[in-house]
């Protein structure tokens, strides 16, 4: 079955070489806006590189890289308004950074500190969802809350291709469709769910067509083209805000990295396949476009890399200089008010730990 | 004062909570125009409309999941799971999300939701409708678990559950839904959570139970009184957090403990109570702790479920073993 037969075609604005092959959306006519997107992609990748380096040297926990998938993350978040709510899976660092989660908070989270989820910026955004796809129903609840209060806000829920096999996602798409709530589901289809390739997740030719069974629109976009990702999600969000209900968007990208720092992808996939996909990766693509359209050059590139590197290094230092939470904090947030048994356990644990923590 | 059955008391508490707080929503399967399969939400749809009384698709995991999203946004969802056996589909959402949203965001996001479900057997129901899953929920940090045992207690405890700032699992004993009526004052007064209720004082033996088993426990206490055995009957009411102090203080006085639980024996909630007494009041014990429980079998179909259910004679036998232990 071809894409045309099922009514879903993969849209793009820039091709792999950064040449315009589709209609430029309104926002992309402003070079400053494209430069913002480019900066966010580069910052995300710089963070990623540092996070892996810290993990490899024992200074960060297991880390899920977003290498190659930055355009999905940044594209989605850049389509949102600050008052919208993001419900990410665990690979959307770019989206979180765009939304105002700080580099230090990301380091704290991946370094094993719950305070990394106490975002100073987007206070209503959800923390990462690790049990795959189980946050999709939360997004329906958040969106229902917006509709019940009559607010012009929307929820954006991002999950991977593997998550589309989960019942939670099927239930959430279905419920969102019935209730016509303002939510946009974004599939970061990076072709691999750890070692299991996309074609072993579903016999459906596209994941976007799963929208059809829920009675909602679905679209597939080139997930390495940040312009089209943002444009299509902006349209879906506008629709949501008009009360027209949810949309499912499949952004097709590729996981250029291992699943996490605990994974070794060479066990199950060819280097040659990975190399082929490097030719389509998003950062070089947008850079090519910006360069060919006269908005970018080597001097600017060097300055940006320097700026991002400084920001990431500074945040890493702040993270590393942050002492762990006191042991008592593990007991203090289980309930609003700690019950007697927890107070007793806290006292015993604190005593064991030497009183100070 | 009005005489209400337990399910009517649940209904009255829901109405009271929805009247006093516009953030309270009810959602679940058939909770709307049908008023719930047990009629716990009867009349709510007409009174509050489809914005606040929401019929969901048949998707239990998402009933819990959607409630989490609503709660994080400041609503107070009260979700109904139609039958106990279907509540298991929610456990992933309860364990991985509802219970820990506060902790993992260090208080930034919270989850003030209630998940109501009928629980327990003895109602001649079809399979998967009669289980007692309380121990599975009681094992989850961050969860408050309540099982009421009478109309008035259901009313007060449900109001407190809905007003609680954290997720509450509220398991209603199906067998008691219409078994008795009791004066319930619809005055909006909540009963404190995390507090055991001493239903009957006694000096010889402590009898601890919860949910539907309170009926058999009280009946056994009556019969034992005829033999001059004064039984202190404690309704645990809130299983988690457990008010261990009330139980320990009682056992310190009586020296004897019988625990009644409808659920299977192994790793049941009675084991937790026994362990607390074992470490907190062992020097007071005059006899081994007795547990009267369901068996470690599947909940039987209706023709043999009576053989499974703990009953008054099993409780009496355990009480007498305890009293005559030398």
Q: What confidence tens digit (pLDDT) does each residue in B82-118 have?
A: 998 999 999 999 999 999 999 999 999 999 999 999 9
Q: Verify whether the Cβ–Cβ distance A145 to B69 is below 8 Å.
A: yes
Residue in chain B closest to A105 (alpha carbons) equals B105
User: CB of A118 within 8 Å of any CB in chain B?
Assistant: yes
- Is a pLDDT exceeding 50 seen at residue B239? yes
- Same-domain status, A18 and A40: yes
CATH code where residue A40 lies: 3.40.50.970
- Same-domain status, B169 and B223: no
- Same-domain status, A126 and A235: yes
Is residue B160 situated within a structural domain? yes
- Same-domain status, A213 and A240: yes
**Which of B59, B104, B142 is nearest residue A335 as measured by Cβ atoms?**
B142
| Structural domain count of chain B | 2
Domain boundary among B146, B162, B184: B184
- Same-domain status, B274 and B247: yes
| Structural domain count of chain A | 2
Q: Verify whether the Cβ–Cβ distance A341 to B69 is below 8 Å.
A: no
- Same-domain status, B101 and B80: yes
Q: What confidence score (pLDDT) does residue A355 get?
A: 58
- Same-domain status, B137 and B39: yes
Q: Verify whether the Cβ–Cβ distance A117 to B106 is below 8 Å.
A: yes
Q: Which domain holds residue B270?
A: 197-324
ipTM > 0.90?
yes
- Same-domain status, B38 and B154: yes
- Same-domain status, B78 and B167: yes
- Same-domain status, A120 and A210: yes
Q: Verify whether the Cβ–Cβ distance A134 to B93 is below 8 Å.
A: yes
User: Best mutation site among A171, A178, A214, A344 for testing chain B: the one with the most B CBs within 10 Å?
Assistant: A171
Total-model pTM: 0.97
* B145-191 pLDDT tens trace: 999 999 999 999 999 999 999 999 999 999 999 999 999 999 999 99
pLDDT level of residue B1 (50, 70, 90 thresholds): confident
- Same-domain status, A199 and A75: yes
- Same-domain status, A40 and A189: yes
Local confidence pLDDT in tens for the 357 residues of chain A: 344 444 567 899 999 999 999 999 999 999 999 999 999 999 999 999 999 999 999 999 999 999 999 999 999 999 999 999 999 999 999 999 999 999 999 999 999 999 999 999 999 999 999 999 999 999 999 999 999 999 999 999 999 999 999 999 999 999 999 999 999 999 999 999 999 999 999 999 999 999 999 999 999 999 999 999 999 999 999 999 999 999 999 999 999 999 999 999 999 999 999 999 999 999 999 999 999 999 999 999 999 999 999 999 999 999 999 999 999 999 999 999 999 999 999 999 999 887 554
Tell me the backbone φ, ψ of residue B312, rounded to 5 degrees.
-60, -40
Is residue B25 situated within a structural domain? yes
- Same-domain status, A97 and A122: yes
Is residue B180 situated within a structural domain? yes
CB B89 within 8 A of CB B61: yes
User: CB of A333 within 8 Å of any CB in chain B?
Assistant: yes
* Cα distance between residue A213 and residue A211, in whole Å: 6
User: CB of B280 within 8 Å of any CB in chain A?
Assistant: no
Q: Which domain holds residue A340?
A: 326-357
User: CB of B123 within 8 Å of any CB in chain A?
Assistant: no
CATH code where residue B201 lies: 3.40.50.920
- Same-domain status, B314 and B242: yes
- Same-domain status, B215 and B311: yes
């Amino acid at each position: 079955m071809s894409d045309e037969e099922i009514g879903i075609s993969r849209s793009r604005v820039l091709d792999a070489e950064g040449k315009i092959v589709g209609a430029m959306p309104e926002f992309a006519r402003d070079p400053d806006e494209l430069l913002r997107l480019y900066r966010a992609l580069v910052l995300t990748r710089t963070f990623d590189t540092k996070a892996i380096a810290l993990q490899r040297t024992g200074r960060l926990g297991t880390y899920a890289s977003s290498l190659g998938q930055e355009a999905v993350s940044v594209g989605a978040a850049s389509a949102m308004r600050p008052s919208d709510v993001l419900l990410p899976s665990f690979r959307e660092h770019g989206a979180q950074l765009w939304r105002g989660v700080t580099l230090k908070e990301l380091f704290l989270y991946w370094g094993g500190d719950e305070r990394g989820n106490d975002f100073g910026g987007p206070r209503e955004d959800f923390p990462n969802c690790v049990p795959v796809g189980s946050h999709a129903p939360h997004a329906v609840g958040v969106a229902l809350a917006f509709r019940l209060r009559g607010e012009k806000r929307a929820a954006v829920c991002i999950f991977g291709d593997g998550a589309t096999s989960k019942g939670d996602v099927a239930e959430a798409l279905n419920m969102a469709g019935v209730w016509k709530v303002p939510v946009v589901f974004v599939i970061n289809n990076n072709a691999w769910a750890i070692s299991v390739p996309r074609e072993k997740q579903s016999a459906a030719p596209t994941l976007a067509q799963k929208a059809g069974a829920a009675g909602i629109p679905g679209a597939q976009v080139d997930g390495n083209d940040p312009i089209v990702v943002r444009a299509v999600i902006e349209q879906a969000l506008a629709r949501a805000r008009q009360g027209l209900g949810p949309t499912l968007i499949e952004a097709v990208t590729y996981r250029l990295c291992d699943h996490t720092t605990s994974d070794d992808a060479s066990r199950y996939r060819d280097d040659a396949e990975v190399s082929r996909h490097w030719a389509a990766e998003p950062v070089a693509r947008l850079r090519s476009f910006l360069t060919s359209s006269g908005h970018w050059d080597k001097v600017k590139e060097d300055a940006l890399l320097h700026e991002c590197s400084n920001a990431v290094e500074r945040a890493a230092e702040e993270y590393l200089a942050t002492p762990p939470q006191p042991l008592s904090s593990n007991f203090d947030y289980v309930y609003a008010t700690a019950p007697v048994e927890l107070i007793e356990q806290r006292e015993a644990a604190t005593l064991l730990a030497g009183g100070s923590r | 004062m009005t005489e209400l059955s337990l399910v009517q008391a649940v209904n009255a508490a829901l109405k009271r909570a929805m009247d006093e707080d516009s953030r309270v929503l009810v959602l679940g399967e058939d909770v709307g125009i049908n008023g719930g399969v047990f009629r716990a939400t009867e009349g709510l749809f007409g009174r509050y409309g489809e914005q606040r009384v929401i019929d969901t698709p048949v998707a239990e995991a998402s009933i819990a999941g959607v409630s989490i999203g609503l709660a994080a946004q400041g609503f107070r969802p009260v979700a109904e799971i139609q039958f106990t056996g279907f509540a298991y589909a929610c456990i992933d959402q309860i364990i991985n999300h509802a219970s820990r949203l506060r902790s993992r965001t260090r208080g930034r996001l919270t989850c003030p939701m209630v998940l109501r479900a009928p629980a327990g057997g003895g109602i001649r129901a079809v399979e998967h409708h009669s289980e007692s899953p309380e121990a599975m929920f009681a094992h989850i940090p961050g969860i408050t678990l309540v099982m009421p045992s009478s109309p008035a207690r259901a009313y007060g405890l449900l109001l407190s559950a809905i007003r609680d700032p954290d997720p509450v699992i509220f398991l209603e004993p199906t067998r008691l839904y219409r078994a008795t009526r009791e004066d319930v004052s619809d005055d909006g007064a909540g009963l404190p959570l995390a507090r055991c209720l001493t239903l009957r004082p006694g000096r010889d033996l402590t009898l601890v139970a919860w949910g539907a088993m309170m009926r058999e426990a009280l009946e056994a206490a009556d019969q034992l009184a005829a033999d001059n055995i004064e039984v202190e009957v404690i309704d645990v009411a809130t299983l988690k957090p457990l008010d261990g102090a009330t139980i320990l203080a009682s056992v310190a006085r009586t020296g004897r403990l019988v625990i009644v639980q409808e659920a299977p024996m192994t790793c049941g909630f009675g084991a937790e109570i026994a362990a607390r007494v074992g470490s907190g009041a062992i020097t007071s014990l005059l006899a081994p702790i007795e547990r009267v429980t369901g068996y470690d079998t599947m909940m039987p179909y209706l023709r043999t479920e009576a053989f499974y259910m703990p009953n008054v004679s099993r409780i009496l036998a355990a009480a007498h073993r305890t009293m005559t232990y030398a």
